[in-house]
């Protein structure tokens, strides 16, 4: 049995980071974490492009446009949606996450999911660089690993090939 995994090697890979301006206190920390992880794994600064969007709702649209360019090996979505007193939170979270999953599957580009969906600001702060680590880092690591794994899968011989 052969096991194939993605590596955490970023040299030669290009990344698009999409960061929401809404809840900037949180998204800026997630963005810093994602950039730190990628550069620590040999992704050059010039191979990282940051796109700012108004809020989480807008992330899937720009993700699709970026995926369609073919320029990026992976995309990382970053932001925070914090629950309020209305069902708005539920709609934004559901459609944003479904949209990103659809883009990733349809365009065959990995998308690291670093959009926090929290009940309150305290939960978001904990996940953006304090007790629970930085979910921007985690999303970037996942995108890096998946970019490498997809590259390997695309080069793999088909079953039955000699």
* CA distances to 4, 142, 150, 151, 156 from 159, in Å: 14, 27, 17, 17, 9
Q: Kindly state the DSSP code that residue 41 receives in the 8-state scheme.
A: T
Q: Cα–Cα distance between 93 and 82 in angstroms, integer?
A: 9
Question: Is residue 45 annotated as a catalytic residue, yes or no?
Answer: no
**What is the Cα–Cα distance from 17 to 9, expressed in whole angstroms?**
17
Q: What is the DSSP letter of 46?
A: G
Catalytic residue among 41, 45, 88, 119: 88
Q: Which residue has the tokens 């990103």?
A: 100
Catalytic residues: 88
């Amino acid at each position: 049995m052969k096991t194939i995994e993605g590596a955490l090697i970023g040299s030669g890979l290009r990344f698009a980071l999409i960061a929401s301006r809404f809840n900037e206190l949180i998204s800026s920390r997630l963005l810093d974490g994602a950039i730190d992880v990628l550069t620590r794994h040999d992704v050059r600064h010039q191979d990282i492009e940051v796109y700012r969007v108004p809020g989480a709702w807008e992330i899937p649209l720009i993700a699709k446009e970026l995926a369609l360019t073919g320029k990026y090996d992976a995309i990382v979505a970053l932001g925070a949606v914090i629950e309020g007193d209305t069902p708005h939170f539920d709609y934004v979270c559901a459609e944003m996450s479904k949209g990103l999953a659809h883009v990733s599957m349809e365009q065959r580009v990995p998308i690291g999911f670093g959009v926090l969906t929290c009940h309150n600001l305290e939960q978001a702060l904990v996940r953006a660089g304090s007790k629970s680590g930085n979910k921007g880092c985690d999303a970037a690591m996942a995108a890096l690993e998946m970019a490498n794994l997809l590259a390997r899968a695309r080069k793999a011989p088909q079953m039955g090939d000699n």
